[in-house]
């Protein structure tokens, strides 16, 4: 029988949609259905297990699943021994210490002798140890943001994304102690067949991620401005230049990095480029 890898993803929650999207962009079919706990892909050697995110690091450590997608916050808090093979760039958030807006508080000193409510006792404990602070960690599993107002704790340490939950509970964010995003994790002892499948998956993810970081650009330029314009467009190798039907003009095609896109577009206009078209790239293999 041909080998498959078992991939654990969150059944329903903040990671689910982006995880499924990632596989879709990689051309891997995943059948989903209500109440479904597993699904075998029809076009890639993978079986998907749909689980609660908290269970994913443990399943991957035990080898029940070979791979998994989970937030770094949950992974580090779990303390499980797995390999982080790829940062995926979605579900970004931070773990922050917050207190009531009315309180004057200086970190980390003012935490000494105080109580802090959190669902992340390990990560918070590490932060406190690092700063030589002794505080009482009050572990709770949910609704951490209401702890100060009901008198359960002086401060909280919880996941923050937009900050609106803190705001609507009268809290202010003092310090972010951990940054997190979704990561692909793997069992450290994958056999060679499974490692080969993982390498195939990583190759596809890299092509999708590289494509997202780049844009395809087409523009028209008068031939006497071509040197200046092609100098701005370093591209993958060098830009493609083709004559337009109209005499003295060319069409220039190239690839630009998303990060320096706006700056380069301005320089291109200043250098005489016209009719600039920008097109998203679906996959990019370097």
Contact range with ligand PRT by CB under 6 A, out of 8-16, 97-105, 218-226, 257-265:
8-16
Task: Establish if 54 lies at the interface with Zn ion (CB under 5 A).
Answer: yes
**Spatial separation of the C-alpha atoms in residues 132 and 14, rounded to whole Å:** 34
**Spatial separation of the C-alpha atoms in residues 265 and 276, rounded to whole Å:** 8
Residue 226 burial (CB count, 10 A):
18
Tell which one of 5, 7, 15, 233 touches ligand PRT (CB under 6 A).
15
Q: Among residues 53 and 66, whose Cβ is nearest to ligand PRT?
A: 53
Q: Among residues 55 and 66, whose Cβ is nearest to ligand PRT?
A: 55
Tell which one of 7, 8, 9, 10 touches ligand PRT (CB under 6 A).
10
CB of 55 to ligand PRT, least distance (A): 8
Task: Establish if 88 lies at the interface with ligand PRT (CB under 6 A).
Answer: no
Tell which one of 20, 28, 53, 116 touches Zn ion (CB under 5 A).
53
77 exposure class (CB count in 10 Å sphere: 0-12, 13-18, 19+): buried
> 145 with 166: CB under 8 angstroms?
yes
CB of 10 to ligand PRT, least distance (A): 5
Within 148-177, the residues that bind ligand PRT by CB under 6 A are 158-165
- What is the chain's alpha carbon radius of gyration, rounded to the nearest angstrom? 25
Output the CA–CA distances (angstroms, integers) from residue 225 to 132, 239, 256, 266, 286, in the order listed: 63, 14, 19, 15, 29
Q: Point out which residues bind Zn ion (CB under 5 A).
A: 53-54
Query: Applying CB under 6 A, which residues contact ligand PRT?
Result: 10, 13-15, 52-54, 71, 73-74, 91, 93, 158-165, 180
């Amino acid at each position: 029988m041909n080998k498959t890898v078992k991939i654990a993803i969150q059944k329903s929650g903040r990671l689910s949609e982006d995880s499924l999207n990632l596989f879709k962009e990689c051309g891997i079919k995943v059948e989903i259905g209500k109440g479904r706990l597993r699904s075998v892909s029809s076009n890639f050697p993978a079986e998907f297990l749909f689980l609660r995110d908290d269970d994913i690091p443990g399943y991957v450590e035990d080898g029940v699943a070979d791979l998994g997608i989970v937030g770094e916050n949950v992974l580090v808090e779990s303390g499980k021994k797995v390999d982080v093979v790829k940062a995926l760039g979605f579900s970004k958030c931070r773990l922050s210490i917050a207190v009531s807006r009315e309180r004057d508080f200086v970190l980390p000193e003012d935490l000494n002798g105080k109580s802090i409510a959190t669902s992340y006792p390990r990560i918070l404990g590490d932060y406190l140890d690092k700063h030589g602070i002794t505080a009482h960690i009050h572990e709770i599993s949910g609704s951490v943001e209401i702890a100060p107002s009901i008198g359960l704790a002086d401060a909280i340490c919880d996941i923050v994304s937009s900050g609106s939950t803190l705001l609507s509970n009268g809290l202010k964010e003092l310090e972010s102690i951990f940054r997190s995003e979704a990561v692909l994790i793997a069992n450290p002892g994958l056999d060679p067949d499974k490692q080969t499948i993982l390498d195939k998956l990583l190759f596809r993810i890299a092509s999708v991620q590289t494509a997202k970081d780049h844009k395809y650009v087409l523009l028209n330029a008068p031939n006497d401005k071509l040197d200046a314009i092609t100098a701005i467009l370093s591209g993958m190798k060098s830009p493609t230049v083709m004559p337009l039907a109209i005499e003295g003009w060319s069409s220039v095609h190239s690839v630009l990095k998303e990060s320096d896109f706006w700056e380069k577009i301005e320089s291109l206009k200043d250098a005489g480029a016209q009719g600039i078209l920008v097109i998203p790239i679906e996959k990019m293999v370097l």
